[in-house]
Structure 1
Amino acid sequence: MTKLTELREMSDEQLQATATEAAESLFRLRFQSQSERLNTPSEIKKNRKTIARVKTIQTERQLAAQKS
């Protein structure tokens, strides 16, 4: 899981790549959870939180750009 400070230091492109990677991983985990037993069910929660953190940072940056 990526820490918030690490996410804030990333560029916009890196943030988007991180969000895309987490979303793809979440999709695979959800699919796997329906078809078989997961080894680490907590990974679903971690990916959801990572996506939420990235979206929050992206929104903060958009709002800061609008104020400027």
Structure 2
Amino acid sequence: MSLLGNHEEDSRTGLSGRGAAVGIGNVFSSLIHSVARNPSLAKQSFGYAILGFALTEAIAILCLLLRK
């Protein structure tokens, strides 16, 4: 075992974090587009966006917990 640790494991952890960040960015980007197209559904769209954010973040946390 090296003194610097396992670089492969660290890179996988970083990739799961980056993937979650991209997913959350996509969720809120879609929210902005949908509200711009149909402002009357802003409240409903915001609820769906928060649900998407929570599910994306849960997957990222699950990836961090399941890494070996």
Q: Give the TM-score taking structure 1 as reference length.
A: 0.49
Q: Which structure has the highest helix share of the two?
A: 2
Task: Tell me which structure has the larger Cα radius of gyration.
Answer: 2
- Structure-2-length-normalised TM-score: 0.49
